[in-house]
Structure 1
Amino acid sequence: MQLFHSPGSPFVRKVVALVHEAGRVGDLALVPATVSPVTSGDATLAHNPLGKIPTLQRPDGPALYDSRVICRYLDAHWDAGLYPETRIWDVLTLEATADGIMDAAVLMTYEARFRPAEMRSQEWVDGQWGKIARSLDALETRWMSHLAGRLDMGQIALACALAYVDFRHGDRNWRAGHAPLAEWFAKIEARESMQATQPPAA
C-alpha cells in the first residue's frame, strides 16, 4: 500500500502513528505529495479528486481518502483493535473532536501562509482558536476518564492534534489552565509511535 503524505500534516501523522501502533511499518510506503489550499495536489489527483492528503492507494480497491476513513480501513485490515466496539461511539466522537482541533489549527496556519497580509483577518484567526479553546475545556470536563483508559484511535488523533498546535501555534500555550490534559499528553507523546512521527522543524 502507498500513502500520499506530507510529514507536517497532522492528519497524515495520525495515520502513520496508527501504522506504528499496529506494528505494520513495513507494509506501507510513504509517497511525498505537495498540496496546499490554493494549488491542485500533484500525484494525489490520480487517486483523489480533492487533491488532498492523506490518500491511501490500496491493492484491493480504489484509493481511500480522509484520515478517518483510512484509519478505520487500516485498523480493520490489520485487526489493530484501535476502534473497540464496546466504546466505538466515544472513540469516534473523540477522534472527531481531535480532527476539529486539527482543522482549526490548520486554517490558522493557512491564513498566515497563503492569504496576502492585507487580506488577513484576525477575527477569523480568533474564531478558529475559539474552537480549539472550547475543545480543550470539553476534553478536561468530559474526556479525562476515557483518556486514562486503553489506547484507541481517538487518543492517537488527539495526541497528534495537540502536537500540531504545539508545532504551528506554540505561542498560544494551550497547556495554560489545562494541567491534567498536559500531563496526559506528556505521557502519550513519549510513545514510540509519536516519537517516530514527529514533523520536521518548522
Structure 2
Amino acid sequence: MAASLTLHWSPKSPYVRKVMVCAHELGLVPQLKLVRSVAAMLRPNPEIMAVNPLSKIPTLVREDGSVLFDSVVICEYLDALAGGKLFPAEGERRWQALRWHAFGDGLLDALILWRNERERQVPLQPLLEAFELKTRASLRMLDAEAAPLATEPFSIGQVTVGCAVGYLDYRFDAFGWRAQAPRLADWFAALCERPSFQATRPVDG
C-alpha cells in the first residue's frame, strides 16, 4: 500500500509516539510517510511552518494537501480512517477513554514543562517543586486506577496514559516512579509487551 499521509515525526516526542501507537494498532503504518522533523521551542522549523505555522509535531498532511494538527485530532482521524477501534462511540466507556486521554496528555504537558524548566541555566525552584508535586499526585491516581486500565477494552485512554508513563522512563529515569506506583508499574510492563509499544520506544539520535 502506497503511503498517502505525510507525518512530521520524531522518535523522541511522546505526542508523536501516541500517534504512531495508534497507527500500529490500526494497521495504518504503511499509509504513513514519516518525515523526520525537529520542532525546538526556540528554533521554529521552516519546513514544518510551511504546513503548520505553530511549528509543532506531530503534524499530518493528507493526500489532498489539507493538514491536521495536534496528536488529539490526528489520533481520532486515524481511528475514523480505520473504522473506529480506539475511540468508544458512546456510553461510560467513551467517557472513561476520553478522560484517560485528557489526563495522559495533561501529565505529558506537565512533564515537558518540568523538563524544560530543569534544563534552564537557573531553574525556578518553586516551579520544579510544583511539577514534582503534580506528577506524584498523578501517579497516585493512576496507581489507584491500574485495575480498570487493565480490564477496560484497549482504547486511546490506555494509549495516552502509556505514552505519558513511558516519557517518565525516557526523561525522568532517576525519579523512580515504579516505587511510587507499583500497580501502575505492573500494568505498564504488560502494556509494553504490545507490538505497538515495542515498535515506538523513544530513542535519541
Residue 58 of structure 1 aligns to which amino acid in structure 2? R
The residue number in structure 2 matching 1:161 is 164
What is the CA–CA distance in structure 2 between the aligned matches of 1:143 and 1:194, rounded to whole Å?
A: 18
Output the TM-score relative to the length of structure 2. Answer: 0.91
| Aligned residue number for residue 188 of structure 1 | 191
**Does 1:25 pair with 2:58?**
no
> 3-state SS of the aligned residue for 1:176?
helix
- CA displacement at 1:143 relative to structure 2: 5.7
Matched, 1:89 2:95: yes
Question: How many residues were matched structurally?
Answer: 199
| Pair 1:200-2:203 in alignment | yes
Structure 2 counterparts to residues 1-202 of structure 1, below 5 A: 1-60=5-64, 62-86=66-90, 87-113=93-119, 115=120, 117=121, 119-142=122-145, 144-201=147-204
Fraction of identical pairs, as percent: 39
Q: Deviations over 1:133-183 (max 9, x none)?
A: 111112233463243221101101111110111100011111113111110
- Normalised TM-score (structure 1): 0.92
Q: How many angstroms apart in 2 are the aligned matches of 1:50 and 1:144?
A: 38
Using the TM superposition, give the Cα deviation of residue 80 of structure 1 relative to its aligned residue in structure 2, in angstroms.
4.2
Deviations 1:79-115 (A, max 9, x none): 14100123212111101111111111111222234x3
Query: Could you report, residue by residue, the CA deviation over 1:38-62 in whole angstroms, capped at 9, with x for unpaired residues?
Result: 1213311011111101001012462
Give the Å deviation of 1:37: 1.5
Q: For structure 2, which runs of at least 5 residues remain unmatched after alignment?
A: none
Gaps of 5+ in 1: none
Q: Retained in 2: the 8 A contact 1:104–1:129?
A: no
Structure 1 CA distance for aligned equivalents of residues 202 and 149 of structure 2: 27
- Relative distance call for 1:32 and 1:101 in structure 2 (3 A) is same
2:146–2:183 Cα contact (<8 Å) kept: no
Distance 1:42 1:130 in 2: 37
Aligned AA for 2:201?
Q
